[in-house]
Amino acid sequence: MTSILRIEHPVTDFERWRRAFDSDPAGRELGGVRRYRIMRSSEDHRLVMIDLEFDSPEQAQEFLVRLRALWTRVEFVADPRACVVELVDDQALDRAPTAAYD
């Protein structure tokens, strides 16, 4: 079952944060990350959310320990919140809208 490390935190400078994220100081691939998604709040572009996908909850927890150590050394990440969740269902709804929604 896929485990996801869901991270949410405000950033003071998104471009600077993105350069740091892209430089991969935590070693995502070596840490077992299979896929990631970056999202920003449409209401507050300072709020960043990241989903990191792993094969197991143990990998996700180990990576979270690595990230917490990293967060103590960066100044543009404030109050990070993170939790490990398990993907229960993932469905794509690719059908055309019906008259009821028009």
70 within a domain of the structure (yes/no): yes
Structure confidence at residue 97 (pLDDT) = 67
Entry pTM: 0.84
pLDDT tens for residues 73-89? 877 777 899 999 998 98
99 within a domain of the structure (yes/no): no
36 within a domain of the structure (yes/no): yes
CA 16 to chain CA centroid, Å, is 17
49 within a domain of the structure (yes/no): yes
Structure confidence at residue 1 (pLDDT) = 79
Contact 67, 82 (CB under 8 A): yes
The CATH number covering residue 56 comes to: 3.30.70.100
CA 8 to chain CA centroid, Å, is 7
34 within a domain of the structure (yes/no): yes
